Structure 1
Amino acid sequence: MTALLREVIGDVLRQARTAQGRTLREVSDDARVSLGYLSEVERGRKEASSELLSAICSALDVPMSRVLTNAGEVLEHAEREADTRAASAANIDVSTKVVIPQVVSMAVA
């Protein structure tokens, strides 16, 4: 199962906060978001609105574009892994290229 966007964004936000050595309380105060709600966003249990995400990013002094880009990269990696696992489970070599010949019409006399 692929990760949900809200879970990945929560992880990216948590990583940014912990990299700065900040507590949930500090960021929630700066973002003017309740500590409980910020915790739920970081754990991927709540979907942050664009306004809330903007406030959290501002409090962390991290551009929202960077948060979304990082989340997109994590999702892309997870999707590729899932595709590889599915191909392995079906015993398909994903590096093999298949050439399908062109259909040729033949006239019957």
Structure 2
Amino acid sequence: MLCLRWPTGDVYSQYEHNGETIDIEPKLISNSLSLIKNAILSGKGIGVLPNIITQESLVSGELVEVLTDSEVKWCDCYILHPQSRTLTAASRAIIEYFMKVMPETYQLS
């Protein structure tokens, strides 16, 4: 399994299968989603990546989903910006992009 290291130093290596939590021993740990994706594409193992990173490769057939009956324990993701400042056009564009590509169930507002 290829795993992501979060900025906190935590390694995401717990999964749920049939209601049971499974801890795995990663073969590769990186803080780069691109590196993990490239390692998966080159046959180094399997991993868990966000759909936003894998969508094109899934559609083209480069990647296939496995362990579809397993669940990943995800953490929350937030887009933060200073309240006192007006958002730049680039900031507004990225927020609109994420709101468009993220499933509605993940959106809080």
Structure 2 length-normalised TM: 0.26
Higher strand share: 2
Higher RCO (C-alpha under 8 Å, 6+ residues apart): 1
Higher gyration radius (CA):
1
Higher helix share: 1
Structure 1 length-normalised TM: 0.26
